[in-house]
Structures are given as structure tokens and as C-alpha cells.
Amino acid sequence: MAKKSSSKPGTPKTSPVVEAKPDLSQVRAQIDGIDQQIQALIAERANWAHQVGKAKGKLAAAVDYYRPEREAQVLRRVVDRNDGPLSDDVLVRLFREVMSACLAQQEPLKIGYLGPEGTFSQQAVYKHFGHSAHGLPLGSIEEVFQEVAAGNADFGVVPVENSGQGTIQVTLDLFLTSPLRICGEVELRVHQYLLSRSGRMEDVERIFGHPQALAQTGGWTRTHLPGVEKIPVSSNAEGARRARSADDAAAIAGETAAIVYGLKKIAGPIEDRSDNTTRFLVIGRQAFPPSGNDRTSLLVFIRDRPGALYGVLEPLARRGISMNRIESRPEHGHKWQYAFFIDVAGHCDESPLKDALDEIGQHGDEVRVLGSYPVAIT
């Protein structure tokens, strides 16, 4: 949240007086002047960002110029400086767009996501990389992993968990065999809407939606549309696409899908939980240095012996390293053996996490660092 405080150096002396009715043309003249300054400063910033690019030397592609740890530091400073009236979310969004445009001066990043256009994954891509990145809609989460691994996309954005519905297991399972690294996380507040061609609730006899979307809105649909058929599809956007071509069909999807597929809102937001949030991971081919507030995702293969899991967790707990997630999945090709996905605070190159990982490694359990990355900012 934006912090309220008394004015500080740099606060414009021309802030509008609220008591008297201001003169519209005078106020607009002020805004014109400020816009001119902002534009000049953005151009100056873009020139400096170009210099940074040169300072990095001759690199092969856009992906080589991208620095998520630096972007996180810039955005944290934006939040720290914010005295309102705009919220932290809004300011972070604006500054992300500026950095996205600055980076795209070299060449836009190519980001794979679960398509088609209009999915929440696409929203997560633009939330994290800004609109100067080039989104690449793909057919499945597996394809996102494949295209990043093959170098056809610079990064991928894949859903990993929802605050109400839990883990997206297909994503975790792909990490069991993939060489890719986790380079970031994105949290997206998910608002679901009932959408249709006509916008009339009385026309609806069938509802298309991704199984997660149908589950997130189960309470609402049972109350308001009891007995209506629910048809699971591969993505919310696919549901919107199908609803576009039938009078008696509706889709449950986000606002972006409504715009992309030309549907009207019947109702919404209709998610049962008001804090409905999906967490996405950014996957890439390289590791990045610490940003100052990082999280690390570990994949631990534990051999079948007494106290094996304790042996992994104890060195973390002893050093006061907080763990905010642990999840087990059956190991591929090893019946009744489990792999543990563990998220902990800190960066794997820094103490105390580095020391804990060294100690765990000495027990003979296989510990893979899937990635250390900046904690999501707003």
C-alpha cells in the first residue's frame, strides 16, 4: 500500500488546491508541462538503459541483457518511495512498462505461455515482463517447457498453484525431468466472469471453463445456475472461443478473454474466494544473482531411510531459514519413492542457505536447486 507521509523534497509545489474550483485550462496547462518533463525523462532513461546495454558488451540476444534481480531492486525502490496518491500496484505496473520498453530497445524478449490469447497466463506474462515483451501462445504447459529448452522462447510463464485449488501438478512434474531453471515468480489476482455472446443469464444452458475456473466458481454457479451443464476445456480462453459460437453457451474466464473474444459480461467477479490468486513461475535457461529479497525452489530426491526428510529440513530450521512450501510427488520410474518440492527464503549463493545446502548434500540425498529468484513484488 502507498504510505501517507508529509511532503518531502522533490514534491511538486504545484499540487492542485482542492478547496476552490480550479480553472480547467490552467490545470491542463500544468499537466501538459508535467507530461513534457516525464517524456523527456523517459527518453533520457531509455538512453541510459541503452548505455547499460553497451556496458554489458556485445551480447548475442535480448535474453542476455535481461536482469531480473536489477528490475526487482528498481521496483522495490519505487514501492519504498511511494507516498501516494497512486497505489504501489499502479506505480509498479508503470515502471515495469518503462523497463520493458528500455530492454526492448535491444530486442523484445520472447515469452512462452499457455495460450490461446486471453488466458490468465498471458496476463501474468505482461504483468511480469511488460507489454514490450513478445508473448508466444503455446498449446500446453509441456510445450512451454519444450520451447524454452529449445531456445525458441527466452522465458516461459507457467502456473504452479492457486490459493484455493492448490498445486498445478503437471507443472511440478515437468520439473522432475526438465533442465530449466526458475528465474522468477508472478502472483496474479484472478477474477472470473460469466461471459456470453448475448450477455443474458436466461440464455445459458452450458458453461465452458478450465477445470480450475469451474472449481473456483462452483459455489456461485450452483446457486445462480443450478443444473446447468459444465463442460471442462483446456483453457479459459478456449472456453470463451467456444462460447462465442453458440447462443445457449457461456464461458467462465477473465476480462481479457471477454475483450479478445468479443463476449459480454453476464456476472462477475464470481470466484467463491475473494483472495483468489494464482502463482506463476518464470522458467528460463540460466541462473541469476541475488536481488536482496529472494526465494529458492529446491527439488529433493530422498532415499528410503529413517529420518531422511528430517535430515533435509533440520539444517534449514537450525539456521532459521523459513520454508513456505513443501510438496511431494511420486518419482518417475521409482515406485513408492518421492521427490519433495521445497520453497525456502534466501538465495542459494548466499549464507545461510548456501551453508545449509552444502550440509544437506553431505547426507547423500540429491538436492537440485531449481532456481533462486526475487520474491514477487505486488
Ligand X SMILES: O=C(O)C(=O)C[C@]1(C(=O)O)C=C[C@@H](O)C=C1
The footprint of ligand X (CB under 6 A) covers 49, 52, 65-67, 70-71, 74, 99, 102-103
Which sign does the torsion angle of CA 335, 336, 337, 339 carry?
positive
Sign of the four-CA dihedral 120, 124, 125, 127:
positive
Shortest Cβ distance from residue 185 to ligand X (Å)? 16
**Smallest distance, Å, CB 294 to ligand X?**
16
Q: Which is nearer to ligand X, 38 or 52 (CB)?
A: 52
* Closer CB to ligand X, 71 or 88, in the complex: 71
Residues facing 267 on adjacent strands? 194
Question: Rounded to the nearest 5°, which phi and psi values hold at 13?
Answer: -80, -5
CB of 377 to ligand X, least distance (A): 14
Please say which residue, 235 or 291, places its beta carbon nearer to ligand X.
291
Question: Grid coordinates 520493458 are at which residue?
Answer: 100
Q: How many CA atoms lie within 13 A of 206 on its CB side?
A: 14
- Cβ proximity to ligand X: between 66 and 340 the closer is 66
The DSSP call for residue 227 is T
Q: How far is the CB of 88 from ligand X (least distance, A)?
A: 18
Residue among 341 and 373 whose Cβ is closer to ligand X: 373
Give yes or no for a contact between 278 and 128, defined as CB atoms under 8 angstroms apart: no
Closest contact distance (angstroms) between CB of 291 and ligand X is 11
Q: Are 191 and 255 in contact (CB under 8 A)?
A: yes
3-state secondary structure of 210: coil
User: Smallest distance, Å, CB 68 to ligand X?
Assistant: 7
Least distance to ligand X from the beta carbon of 46, Å? Answer: 8
Closer residue to ligand X (CB): 45 or 189 = 45
Closer to ligand X by CB, 107 or 349: give it. 107
Q: Write down the least CB distance from residue 147 to ligand X, Å.
A: 21
Beta-carbon-side half-sphere exposure of residue 222 (alpha carbons within 13 Å): 8
CA distance 251 to 204: 10
Q: Which residue has the cell 536482469?
A: 67
| CB 176, CB 295: distance < 8 Å | no
Smallest separation, CB 71 to ligand X (Å): 5
Shorter beta-carbon distance to ligand X: residue 95 or 280: 95
* Cα 127 to Cα 45: distance, rounded to the nearest angstrom: 21
Q: Cβ of residue 344: shortest distance to ligand X, in angstroms?
A: 25
Chain position whose Cβ is nearest to ligand X: 102
DSSP letter (8 states) at residue 367: E
Burial of residue 305, with CB atoms counted within 10 A of its CB: 0-12 exposed, 13-18 middle, 19 or more buried: exposed
Q: Which is nearer to ligand X, 261 or 373 (CB)?
A: 373
**Which three cell numbers mark 192?**
472470473
How buried is residue 191: exposed, middle or buried, by Cβ count under 10 Å (0-12/13-18/19+)? Answer: middle
Q: Which residues pair with 138 in a beta bridge?
A: 114
- Cα 266 from chain centroid (whole Å): 27
Residue closer to ligand X (CB basis): 65 or 261: 65
